[in-house]
Every structure is written in C-alpha cells, then in structure tokens.
Amino acid sequence: MKSAYELAMERLERQAPTQQLTPKQKSAIAEIESVYKARIAERELLIKGEIDKAIAAGKFDEMESLHKQLAMDTRRLTEECETKKAKAREPA
C-alpha cells in the first residue's frame, strides 16, 4: 500500500514530468551558480566594508541605506542567476 506522499508524488510526476538534464546543461548551470555566488559574495564584502566605515563614523542613516542596497543587489543577482539557469534548462 502506498503512502499519501507517494501518491501525491506520482500525481505530480504525471502533471509535470521531471526534466532530465544533459551533462552540458548541468555544467552550464553549475558555472552560472558559481559565477553568481562569487558576484554576490563580492557585493557583500564591498558593502559590508562600507557599512563598517559608516558605523565607525557614526553615520547610522547611511548604514541603513547600505543594508537596503545590499538586499536589493542580492535579490537582483539572485533573479539574474535564476533566469540564466532557466534558459540553460531549456531543451536545445
């Protein structure tokens, strides 16, 4: 007898079959993830350095705007990454 989870997974598989990726697609997706992780880390280091300077100078309003900028940049880069990964997953 199958569990409710197994039945649900079977229904999901019938509705939207799992896409098998080629090795080329897998490597392209891995490369995209690597590039964007590096870009996000670079932005974090840069902006966190600016935040530390703002804290040392007592500019707390500037610190808040830098936090918002970091969140915005991270969100933008993540969206770009997901878009490029979706394109890489498309069949040739």
Span 43-71, pLDDT tens digits: 999 999 999 999 899 888 898 999 999 99
Structural domains counted in the chain: 1
Percent of the chain with pLDDT over 70: 99
Which domain range does residue 68 map to?
41-92
Q: Is residue 88 part of a domain?
A: yes
d(CA 64, CA 73): 14
Is the pLDDT assigned to residue 17 strictly greater than 90?
no
Predicted pLDDT of residue 70: 95
d(CA 74, CA 72): 5
**Phi, psi for residue 19 in degrees, rounded to 5:** -90, 130
Q: Is residue 72 part of a domain?
A: yes
Q: Is residue 52 part of a domain?
A: yes
Q: Is residue 61 part of a domain?
A: yes
> Span 80-85, mean pLDDT?
97
Predicted pLDDT of residue 92: 66
